[in-house]
Amino acid sequence: MLERLQRLLGLQTIPGVFFTSAGIAALFVALAIPFNEIVAESFGLLTGWVAHSLGWFYILAVSGLLIFLLGLAMSRYGNIRLGADDSLPDYSNLTWFTMLFAAGIGTILMFWGVAEPVSHFANPPFEGVEPGSEEAASDAMSLALYHFGLHTWTIFAMPGLAISYFAYRHNLPMRISSLFYPILGKRTFGPWGWAVDVIAVLGTLFGVATSLGLGTLQLNSGLNYLFDAPSTGLVQVIIIVVITGIAATSVALGLDKGVRRLSQLNILLALGLLMFVLTLGPSVFIAEGMVQSVGGYLDALPRLAFWTETFKETDWQRQWTLFYWAWTIAWAPYVGIFIARISRGRTIREFVAGVLFAPTVFTLVWFGIFGLSAIQLEMSGQVELAEQVQQDPSVAVFAFLDAFPMAELASVLSVVIITIFFTTSSDSASLVIDMLTRWDDQPSQVRQRIFWAVAQGGIAATLLLAGGLDALQNVITSLGLPFCILLIFMAVALFRALRADYRGYSVNELVQGRAFAEVEVVPETKQESEYVSKTFDRDRS
């Protein structure tokens, strides 16, 4: 029946993945609009249970994956190339980095660059730390870097590395289900594999929708500051509609013409805003604070990486760390596949070093300039940032820039940067979801990519109308759990494949039992046979 519907609509998809994902997303929107209070309350209860019962699992999983990736990079497997042994990277290091940043956490840094350090400075989570003190300022920077540094990029790097390896080294389809080929064998190409891809699609939809929701709140605050636009649900829906239209246009142009050019433009604008704040702000204080923040972050990292708030049960970790981890995990499939698309030809060591450390350095610079400047303004009493952040974190960056000369110009530039980050996140995700829901040998259709861009906007608008920031946090904390479990199995599958590769076995020999496994692969369709046959012949040669 699904195949008949697909032919009727003229689509090129894997029907079981496309229609299941689209159906669940449509059902959520259909139920959330008339029953938004019930939906918000239900996810609030579910989030409370997840945080109380499984918060430790999020903390342990992400820190464990960071150790795993660093161990791979430093091991004998670090020299294995993501592609043929003589392949070269498709993009220069600079282009690669700008695309990593714009499709990764650009929107998040714009939203939380001021809000998070100021919030922790005014309300320290650790017992005995006085609000507004020097210790509170140091802890605030360490926590911000913990939330947006190595751990965040670990969550992106894990699927990115695994997808790159299986796609470029073994010619498997660039889908999340391919990563479980060493475990599932032929079942990868059936309902089991489709179920994995559906989880990945839904995680991407809701993860990116959360980012779009935060971006919309911040854009609304910026427009309110600049043009007195009202901060209402209607205005936020209009913003989502406009940005979704821009994203749909960009996604129709494809990766090179759309996403790459927007990414390069936005990194230049973001650097311009950074230089503006650095030049007109407390430059010496920023420089000293950045150096000290590096030491503070590295010193606090082992403790924070395994801190579960055991002896002081509050709601802090659910609102901050668990929300960030679940949010990042939810949209890790999209960022992972996007990173894989631009990472062919690099060694595992290059990949891990680039994806983990380059964005972390930029995060340090971003929080060093914005966060430290904001803390200095708060300490000097020039601006009441903390009070405004507590009331509405989306206004933080605009309230912060209001203390600088040419504040309106800087705020306009911020609105443009947020809009482009908004757009690149949406169109990158649309390209990736389209890849997840079709066979590799099927042509990508513009209508399918546009459909997923519209779906992200629809979910973001629904979540905002269902409760704003609280609804965004609750939904994503709950939905991130299934993919967190998949990340663990992903690491196991990658390690087994790397061991076989190092010993001279192909991934098919691994699955067929000639390396370490006992599962026999018998492809059941023509497309599956072509994938497996092509992989086996290439690896054997």
Helix axes 332-341, 323-330, angle to 10 degrees: 50
436-to-12, 13, 62, 203 alpha-carbon distances in Å = 12, 9, 24, 12
Whether residue 168 contacts residue 344, with contact meaning beta carbons closer than 8 Å, is answered with yes
Residue found under tokens 């300039």: 369
Whether residue 319 contacts residue 48, with contact meaning beta carbons closer than 8 Å, is answered with no
Average pLDDT over residues 145-156: 94
Q: Which domains does the chain have, with CATH numbers?
A: 2-501 (1.20.1740)
* Helix, strand, coil percent content, the chain, rounded in steps of 5: 80, 0, 20
Paired with 81 in beta bridges are 347
Q: How confident is the model at residue 537 (pLDDT cuts 50, 70, 90)?
A: very low
**pLDDT tens digits, 453-464:** 889 888 888 878
SS (H, E, C) 482-527: HHHHHHHHHHHHHHHHHHHHHCCCCHHHHHHCCCCCCCCCCCCCHH
Largest CA distance in the chain: 70
**pLDDT tens digits, 78-123:** 999 998 888 888 888 887 887 776 555 667 788 889 999 999 999 9
Return the closest-CA partner of residue 54 out of 333, 330, 320, 308.
Answer: 308
51: Cα separation from own chain's centroid: 20
Q: How confident is the model at residue 517 (pLDDT cuts 50, 70, 90)?
A: very low
The residues near 535 (Cβ < 8 Å, ≥ 6 apart) are 170, 171, 172, 506, 507, 508
Residue found under tokens 């996140």: 425
**pLDDT tens digits, 393-440:** 888 888 899 899 998 899 899 888 888 877 777 777 888 888 888 887
Looking at residue 512, its pLDDT comes to 61
CA distance 415 to 98: 19
Decide if pLDDT at 375 tops 90.
yes
**pLDDT tens digits, 230-247:** 888 888 889 888 888 887
Helix axes 150-164, 348-380, angle to 10 degrees: 160
Average pLDDT over residues 509-528: 47
CA distance 374 to 354: 29
Q: How confident is the model at residue 472 (pLDDT cuts 50, 70, 90)?
A: low
Average pLDDT over residues 47-67: 91
